[in-house]
Amino acid sequence: MSTSITDNDFSKQMEELVLKFVKDNLESILKEEMKNFFEVEHPELKNSKNGFYERILDTKYGRIDDLTVPRDRKGHFQTALFDPYQRQERWLGETIITMYQKGFSTRELGNFIERILGKSYSPATISNITDVVVEDIKEWQQRPLKKRYTVLYLDGTYLKLRRQDVDSEVVYVVVGITEDGFKEIVGFYVGGKESSLGWKEVLFDLRNRGLEEVLLGVFDGLTGLESAFKEIYPQADVQRCVVHKVRNTLHSIRKKDREELTKDLKNVYKAGSKEEALEQFEIFKKNWKSIYPKVVQSWEEDLSVLLTFFKYPRIIRPQIYTTNTIERTMKEIKKRTKTMNSLPSEKAVEKIVYLVATDYNEKWNKRGITEFLSAKSEIQKMFDERYGKKMITK
């Protein structure tokens, strides 16, 4: 009778071989480390070997149950490979936090650790491990902000949050473009239903943390948001998201007319100047007013805040007439929580959003946005004209 090795058997054998290789090499390193300690670093100390002791060591390759560590009688030698009483490497905590950031539930993380290390961690224990970021979150949320931001993008997304029961609650997110052309998540706030009052509190907090001067706020058409924004930043312009407006318009248009109507609207916001845009809008109005009077009226009423972007340098216009810049961030937050039916607490939501935010900010801080860098002198002039020249302190 022939026997066959299953994929699981082969995988297990490979894991055992890798772990044995790691164990053998660690023990060789420990021996050489002790030899170097007494013969090179401290020859004045008389080495009196006292055999070995066994200890458990959790590694990223699995658990070593019987690692042999050399010792001397007087306890002079201590290996630098691990702390004397350490039972697991730092990688475990870092791995848990990273996987939590990627959207793994606490239960899934517990199962993962049990498969790798041969011991189980309860969801509560996993949650406690990820709590190491809680103090970082508090510090991050209270950090001072730069004084000037060229653009602030505002958007909210809903996540299912469990308090006494499960309900969808908003996460307010603000992404800014600094005066120097770098993108940054400047803040996020969790709880309740999205409202203009909620946004006013968000913006008030940003201003209190030092964000005083803004050229442009970009957001969708939430009722009352424009007035809330202007109350906190009265000298800033407002840009209503054109893409959101187009999407909402198409819900009111018959399918057979959508292609032509969208083409006419595109001629408006893709125009080379505001004057040309206004001319194209008159063509749109002429073509569609009799067929869709309410649609045309809605665009006419919002036109001033839909065409604000024409006041700004041409090179940055495609990035400021829409909230696409922040929508990609919001999708990533949703993606990280997709595997979770609901989040157990407000703190759990904050952990995930914070990890997404710091991950993005670290990446964005390495490279400015080309279009904003190219328009830096024009943007600086706009700041100076609107707010006066910034004082430079030595």
Distance CA 305, CA 312 (A): 13
Question: 365 to each of 45, 102, 162, 179, how far by Cα in Å?
Answer: 50, 21, 34, 13
**Residue type present at position 211:** L
Q: Do both 106 and 51 map to the same domain?
A: no
Q: Do both 195 and 338 map to the same domain?
A: yes
Q: Do both 54 and 182 map to the same domain?
A: no
User: pTM of the prediction?
Assistant: 0.71
- Tell me the helices (H) and strands (E) count for the chain, helix number first: 16, 7
Q: Do both 84 and 192 map to the same domain?
A: no
Cβ atoms 147, 141 nearer than 8 A: no
Distance CA 214, CA 232 (A): 10
DSSP states of 156-177 as a string?
Answer: EEEEEEESSSEEEEEEEEEEEE
**Angle between helix 255-269 and helix 242-250 axes, rounded to 10 deg:** 160
Judge whether 308 lies within some domain. yes
Q: Do both 197 and 276 map to the same domain?
A: yes
Cβ atoms 305, 245 nearer than 8 A: no
| Helix or strand (DSSP H, E) at 325 | helix 324-336
Judge whether 393 lies within some domain. no
**pLDDT tens column, 185-195:** 999 999 889 99
Six-digit token pair at 292?
Answer: 């869709």
- pLDDT tens over the chain, length 394 residues: 444 556 566 556 666 777 787 788 788 878 888 888 888 888 888 777 778 888 877 766 677 878 888 888 777 888 776 665 454 555 565 566 666 656 566 666 677 666 665 656 666 666 666 666 677 888 899 999 999 999 999 999 988 888 888 888 999 999 999 999 999 999 999 988 999 999 999 999 999 999 999 999 999 989 999 999 999 999 999 999 999 999 999 999 999 999 999 999 999 999 999 999 999 999 999 999 999 999 999 999 999 999 999 999 999 999 999 999 999 889 888 887 776 666 777 887 888 888 889 889 999 999 999 999 999 999 999 999 999 987 655 4
| Domain end residue (candidates: 132, 160, 195) | 132
Tally of CB atoms within 10 A around 239: 25
Q: Do both 81 and 48 map to the same domain?
A: yes
Tally of CB atoms within 10 A around 292: 18
Q: Do both 326 and 260 map to the same domain?
A: yes
Q: Do both 123 and 251 map to the same domain?
A: no
Number of domain units in the chain = 3
Q: Do both 123 and 147 map to the same domain?
A: no
**Residue type present at position 313:** P
Distance CA 269, CA 14 (A): 60
Domain range for 202 is: 139-387
pLDDT of residue 1: 45
Judge whether 392 lies within some domain. no
